[in-house]
A and B are shown apart, each in its own frame.
Chain A
Amino acid sequence: MMSLLDYFRTTKPRSASVAKERLQILVAHERSSRNQPSYLPQLQKELLDVIRKYVNVEQDAISVNFEQDEDQETLELNIVLPDHQAKHS
């Protein structure tokens, strides 16, 4: 009887493992944004304004990433330029 019950139990989706997976992703994401300096969103906005003076880029064309190692901080700036405007100027 017990083994029969166990069989039905194992075929059910395990909600706990779903919970764990969701939490691991969420917590990792929240931790990385927690350690970012508070000026980052403003910096991103101002950079976007400057770039838009010269190139017509989308709102999400800029990503600013801040990473912290033991002994150094890295600010990574990524700008995606639109294809069709490359030959402009």
Chain B
Amino acid sequence: MARIIVVTSGKGGVGKTTTSAAIAMGLAKKGHKTAVIDFDVGLRNLDLIMGCERRVVYDFINVINGEATLNQALIRDKHCNQLYILPASQTRDKDALSQEGVGKILEELSKDFKYIVCDSPAGIERGAHLAMYFADDAFVVTNPEVSSVRDSDRMLGILSSKSRRAEQNQEPIKEYLLLTRYSPERVKLGEMLSVDDVQEILSLHLLGVIPESKSVLNASNSGTPVILDEKSDAGQAYADIVARYLGEDRPHRFIDEKKGIFGKLFGGK
């Protein structure tokens, strides 16, 4: 049986697709057969972030409608043979995504895969609902910014009341906080909510902090998940997150300021 992870946030532009691509790649690189699914029907972008946009032939909705088999639609990643991408449909109407259809596909994938990462669209409409409905774990991607925190809290309410686990009175979805675009310098200046602030408001288990980083745009420019940029801070932060999710004990990094020139000269290390 696969473990189904939803990457969600409510608010758009906080880093859901970047996170989905990175953690799916991270899990696959650890040797777990992983599928990552784009639920953003009409606005697919996961393919672009994964660098497989020119290899899309069939999509999620083709499979739901029986126009293609799952094997025909799944794209094997060029960096890691344990990773497969299921792209969203670009043209069809959103109603094509049915709960029954999604359920069937996830069930079929579950036989063969260890992890299924569902990249949720922004908002709380159909696509976002179906992305989280079947989930076992939720990665709540949040920016240290008021509207993002509020929307995350809204998503938490939906996760705990509208998911399959909630409806069937099963153990609730495990929720994790991923704080992205974090800038320790601005936190120190009192210009940005701190990790502790956000955790206090959302009371959520912190899986990791991703610092604001140039490497994220560089990675999306070239269509390589940022986790493959092992030298970058964001890449390392995602690698930590994957390791923590898999049960490794890793101290949190990227929460405190990077040492400036004086720190480097006099602060040791």
Residues of A within 8 A of B (CB): 9, 12, 14-17, 19-20, 22-24, 26-27, 30-31, 34
Structural contact, A14 and B154, CB atoms closer than 8 A:
no
Residue in A closest to B192 when the chains form the complex, CB atoms: A16
Contacts of A31 in B (CB 8 A): 153, 157
Residue in B closest to A12 when the chains form the complex, CB atoms: B190
Tell me the minimal C-beta distance from A23 to chain B in angstroms.
Answer: 5
Interface CB pairs A-B, < 8 A, 18 = A9-B189, A15-B190, A15-B191, A16-B190, A16-B191, A16-B194, A16-B197, A20-B193, A20-B197, A20-B200, A23-B149, A23-B193, A24-B200, A27-B153, A27-B201, A30-B153, A30-B154, A34-B157
Structural contact, A19 and B153, CB atoms closer than 8 A:
no
State which residues 136-158 of B face A: CB under 8 Å.
145-146, 149-150, 153-154, 157
Residues of B within 8 A of A (CB): 145-146, 149-150, 153-154, 157, 187, 189-194, 197, 200-202
Contacts of B201 in A (CB 8 A): 20, 23-24, 27
Structural contact, A19 and B193, CB atoms closer than 8 A:
yes
Chain B CB within 10 Å, residue with most, of A19, A23, A31, A34: A23
- What are the 3 tightest A-B residue pairs by CB atom distance, in nearest-first order? A14-B190, A20-B197, A34-B157
Contacts of A12 in B (CB 8 A): 190
Residue in A closest to B262 when the chains form the complex, CB atoms: A2
Structural contact, A17 and B190, CB atoms closer than 8 A:
yes
Contacts of A22 in B (CB 8 A): 146
Complex alpha-carbon distance, A27 and B199, angstroms: 13
Structural contact, B150 and A23, CB atoms closer than 8 A:
yes
Residue in B closest to A17 when the chains form the complex, CB atoms: B190
Complex alpha-carbon distance, A12 and B191, angstroms: 10
Complex alpha-carbon distance, A16 and B191, angstroms: 5
Tell me the minimal C-beta distance from B211 to chain A in angstroms.
Answer: 17
